[in-house]
Structure 1
Amino acid sequence: MAKITVEPATPDRFADAEHALTGGGDGRSCQCQWWTITNAEFNSTSQSEREQLLRDEVDAGPPPALIAYVDGEPAGWVRVGPRTRQVRLGRTRNITAGSTEPWEDDTVWAVSCFVVRKEHRGQGLNDVLLEAAVDFARKGGARVVEAYPYDPHVGPKKSSNDLFHGVVSTFRNAGFREVARPRPDLAVVSLDLKR
Structure 2
Amino acid sequence: MTWETHPVTPDRFEDFADVVNPNRRETHCWCLSHRLTAPQITELGEGSREQAARRLCEREHPPGVVTYRDGIPVGWCSISPRSDIPRLVKSALIRPVDDVAVWSIICVVVRGGHRKQGVTTRLLEGAVQHAAAHGAPAVEAHPVDPDGRMDLTMAFVGTRSMFEKVGFEVIGQTDAVASKMPRLVMRRVLA
Percent of residue pairs bearing the same amino acid type: 33
Equivalent pair of 2:140/2:188 in contact (CA under 8 Å): yes
Aligned residues: 184
CA distance in 2, matches of 1:119, 1:27: 22
Shift of 1:149: 0.7
C-alpha RMSD of the superposition: 2.8
Equivalent pair of 1:111/1:145 in contact (CA under 8 Å): yes
Shift of 1:93: 2.9
CA distance in 2, matches of 1:94, 1:77: 25
Equivalent pair of 2:41/2:52 in contact (CA under 8 Å): no
Matching residue of 1:132 = 126
TM-score (norm 1): 0.81
Shift of 1:172: 1.4
Shift of 1:81: 0.8
Equivalent pair of 2:26/2:50 in contact (CA under 8 Å): no
Q: Which has the higher helix share?
A: 1
Matching residue of 2:135 = 141
TM-score (norm 2): 0.83
Name stretches of at least 5 consecutive residues in structure 2 with no aligned partner. none
* 1:123 pairs with 2:122: no
Per-residue Cα deviation, 1:112-138 (whole angstroms, up to 9, x for no partner): 111111200001211111111111111
* 1:193 pairs with 2:178: no
Equivalent pair of 1:149/1:166 in contact (CA under 8 Å): yes
**Runs (4+) of structure 1 moved beyond 4 Å?**
40-46
Q: 1:68-147 residue pairs with structure 2 within 5 A?
A: 68-96=67-95, 99-102=96-99, 107-147=101-141
Letter in 1 for 2:127: A
- In structure 2, the CA distance between the partners of 1:137 and 1:124, relative to structure 1 (3 Å rule), is same
Letter in 1 for 2:150: K
Letter in 1 for 2:36: I
1:169 partner SS? helix
Name stretches of at least 5 consecutive residues in structure 1 with no aligned partner. none
2:113 partner SS? helix
* 1:172 pairs with 2:169: no
2:93 partner SS? helix
Equivalent pair of 2:142/2:186 in contact (CA under 8 Å): yes
CA distance in 2, matches of 1:110, 1:15: 23
1:111 partner SS? strand
Q: 1:146-165 residue pairs with structure 2 within 5 A?
A: 146-153=140-147, 157-161=149-153, 164-165=156-157
Equivalent pair of 2:75/2:109 in contact (CA under 8 Å): yes
Shift of 1:190: 1.1
Shift of 1:43: 9.7
